[in-house]
Amino acid sequence: MLPVPAPPYPVHHDEPVLDLAVPVFNEETDLEPSVRRLHAYLRETFPYPFRITVADNASTDTTPLIAARLAAELPEVEWIRLAEKGRGRALRAVWSASSAPVVGYLDVDLSTGLAALLPLVAPLLSGHSDLAIGTRLAPGARVVRGPKREAISRCYNILLRCTLSVGFSDAQCGFKAVRRDAAARLLPLVRDSAWFFDTELLVVAERAGLRIHEVPVDWVDDPDSRVALLSTALADLRGIARVALSPARGALPPGRPPRPYVVTAAVMALAHLFLYAALRPAAAEQVANALSLLACWTLALPVRGRLPRPALPALAARLALTTGSLAVLRHTVPAAGLSAELAALAAAHLSLVLARPAFGVRRRRTESTAS
């Protein structure tokens, strides 16, 4: 059941109407200029009282000292110190302790254009929506980033749609807000404390029937991003597998029924592409291909329960076909980049899906003849 819509808040509300968390870890370079810029922008343009809460995730540099100084100097800025790392852990701590009607967060690099902040918060203040997210993948968004991060982002969100049947377009844009009453309902159901926190929060909210408002944003990639792509990708895939199994365990509201083989194959393919794109900068194409395929198969073990014997030839077939596709691409187009490599791998997976019906018919006929 959706929360009762709340009336718009007066401009001169005594307490902060918005509590905006800024999770940080070893951000001594960006923290002060970013917080000052955010504070000045909110002071000049935001029509309601606000609070900025810097959430320090166990930083080992001078980040805590800078955060303390900013909190002492700027009246709308506070800071907390966490003993353990984790973006989700930081957001849970800030949101759970806040009394503001709307809580949210943004990344310290301010990659997202601040002009989208009021459109993000407005539907929550009016009671129209329960959560609001910035999206880099919807019409109207303007994004500047490299092909590797673009490919990873799109693969990840397609993977979510295939596996968890989500309706939102961008799970991990660091620009979100939620009504505090909705957050109080959702946070006890969210288990992740790191980067998958955003995705799990949105999945739980969508399954609970809450309204999610999307705002297309202007977004410029931070070249000094501290996100470890490989470890984050593996953690996200583990999180997807856990959440996909949660309805059967009663931890989340029920999702849709299991998908047929075609979608299962699509999930495997997208996970492979996602990991390949993350590994490729540090490894040769064939090494990245083999490692990403093996990682996908290993991550599937909790879902399978065990690795059935017929799956081993299927893994060998995928490895052979994807290896061959990359070899042919490199032979014909020596200067091919990551986008072309991902296209070749996608074509290899597609050929396996198209070939399966013929193998299935042949196997059934063989079994019928033997009986």
Catalytic residues: 198
Per-residue buried b or exposed e for 15-25, using 16+ beta carbons within 10 Å of the residue's own CB: ebbbbbbbbbb
Structure tokens at 107: 């990344």
Q: How far apart are CA 272 and CA 318, in angstroms?
A: 10
Cα 157–Cα 356–Cα 267 angle in degrees, nearest 5: 15
The angle formed by the CA atoms of residues 241, 244 and 248, to the nearest 5 degrees, is 125
| Type of residue numbered 191 | R
- Token pair for 281: 């900068």
Closest C-alpha to 102, from 209, 223, 9: 9
- Burial of residue 105 (CB within 10 Å: 0-12, 13-18, 19+) is buried
d(CA 277, CA 149): 8
| Size of the chain, expressed as the number of residues it contains | 371
Could you tell me which of 190, 86, 80 has the C-alpha nearest to residue 131? 190
How many Å apart are CA 326 and CA 235, to the nearest integer?
27
Q: Angle at the Cα of 183 (from 90 to 230), degrees rounded to 5?
A: 45
Q: 3-state class of 216 per DSSP?
A: strand
